[in-house]
């Protein structure tokens, strides 16, 4: 009987020890600060933070808020070329508008608007002329024709827009044209408003698994405005790899 009590006592002690050990292990896991989907943390520019997912640890560095150079273009109006700078009334002229994308990304859906300066005659503008894309460093020439009915000095204004144009100061160009032998001078040239391209967060992260580097990337993540709040998203419950994004 005493042996039976001794065996039961040993079993109880063993069970209690295992329970305490499991509790300690669970507590250790909980304090390891695993990242779950939707968890947020804040980084200042240049700050590094260590985050964890099951089996992995990830070092995240917030580099800057800037533009991804592959995502922005810069379309420039190179010139306005007239076939005749002093036509007679009723004479049709051609106008060539050479454009160049001097940016680092593809200019997409480029819209070209032409204002001939003779709005009172009822035919003073046209457009947009749509160019599907202009690759970095490439040029494109838009060709239009127009006929001025009355003599006068007019201001031709060209406006170019692209959704990812980073610099709009070179998107307006004007040129005066004299029709016949007018008196006086033409008008001036307008300007475009400020750029409204959303900026990106430039993130660098290194992912370790059991001490080995398994992933290392530069990421450009879209933000609606300049913010520093980073969201960590787990791909799914079975994978330990995480991605970063900026919440909108």
pLDDT, tens digit, 9 for 90 and up, residues 22-46:
433 233 333 345 655 556 667 777 7
Domain that holds residue 206: 35-67+199-248
Pick from 94, 133, 136: nearest CA to 114 = 94
Same domain, 163 and 216: no
Q: Confidence class of residue 177 from pLDDT cuts 50, 70 and 90?
A: very high
| Among 148, 179, 210, residue at a domain's last position | 179
Same domain, 55 and 77: no
Same domain, 231 and 244: yes
In whole angstroms, give the CA distance from residue 110 to residue 193: 17
The CATH number of residue 149's host domain is 2.60.40.10
**In-domain check, residue 184:** no
Same domain, 99 and 62: no
Pick from 78, 80, 41, 83: nearest CA to 58 = 41
In whole angstroms, give the CA distance from residue 178 to residue 152: 6
Same domain, 133 and 161: yes
Least confident of 84-93, 106-115, 197-206: 197-206
54 has pLDDT over 90: no
Q: Confidence class of residue 230 from pLDDT cuts 50, 70 and 90?
A: low
Q: Which residue has the higher pLDDT, 62 or 229?
A: 62
Same domain, 40 and 135: no
Same domain, 52 and 89: no
143 has pLDDT over 90: yes
Q: Confidence class of residue 157 from pLDDT cuts 50, 70 and 90?
A: very high
Q: Considering the chain, what percentage of its residues have pLDDT values greater than 70?
A: 69
Pick from 130, 200, 186, 129: nearest CA to 153 = 186
**In-domain check, residue 96:** yes
**In-domain check, residue 188:** no
Q: Which residue has the higher pLDDT, 108 or 6?
A: 108
Same domain, 63 and 75: no
Determine the pLDDT at residue 231: 64
Same domain, 63 and 80: no
pLDDT tens for residues 74-95? 999 999 999 999 999 999 999 9
**In-domain check, residue 189:** no
Residue 175 phi/psi, 5-degree rounding, is: -150, 135
Determine the pLDDT at residue 90: 93
Domain count across the chain? 2
Any long-range contacts for 239-243 (C-beta under 8 Å, 24+ apart)?
A: 240/53, 240/54, 240/55, 240/56, 240/209, 241/53, 241/56, 241/207, 241/214, 241/215, 242/35, 242/51, 242/53, 242/56, 242/58, 242/207
Same domain, 84 and 153: yes
Q: Which residue has the higher pLDDT, 114 or 212?
A: 114
| Among 147, 179, 211, residue at a domain's last position | 179
**In-domain check, residue 21:** no
Pick from 118, 120, 191: nearest CA to 160 = 191
Determine the pLDDT at residue 26: 30
Average pLDDT, the chain: 77
In whole angstroms, give the CA distance from residue 37 to residue 31: 17
Same domain, 166 and 77: yes
């Amino acid at each position: 009987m005493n042996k039976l009590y001794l065996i039961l006592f040993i079993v109880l002690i063993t069970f209690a020890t295992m329970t305490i050990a499991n509790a300690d292990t669970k507590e250790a896991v909980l304090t390891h600060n695993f990242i779950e989907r939707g968890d947020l943390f804040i980084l200042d520019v240049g700050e590094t933070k260590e985050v964890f997912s099951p089996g992995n640890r990830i070092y995240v560095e917030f580099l800057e808020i800037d533009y991804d150079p592959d995502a922005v273009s810069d379309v420039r109006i190179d010139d306005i070329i007239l076939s005749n700078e002093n036509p007679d009334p009723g004479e049709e002229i051609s106008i060539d508008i050479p454009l160049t994308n001097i940016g680092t990304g593809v200019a997409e859906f480029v819209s070209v608007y032409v204002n001939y300066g003779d709005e009172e005659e009822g035919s003073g503008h046209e457009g947009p002329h749509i160019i599907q894309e202009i690759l970095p460093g490439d040029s494109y020439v838009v060709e239009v024709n127009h006929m001025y009915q009355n003599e006068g000095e007019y201001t031709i204004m060209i406006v170019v827009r692209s959704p990812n144009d980073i610099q709009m100061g070179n998107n307006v160009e004007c040129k005066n044209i004299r029709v016949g032998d007018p008196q006086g001078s033409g008008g001036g040239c307008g300007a475009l408003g400020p750029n409204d391209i959303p900026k990106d967060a430039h993130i660098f992260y290194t992912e370790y698994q059991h001490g080995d580097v398994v992933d290392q990337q530069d990421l450009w993540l879209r933000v609606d405005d300049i913010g520093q709040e980073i969201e960590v998203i787990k791909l799914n419950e079975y994978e330990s790899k995480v991605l970063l994004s900026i919440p909108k």
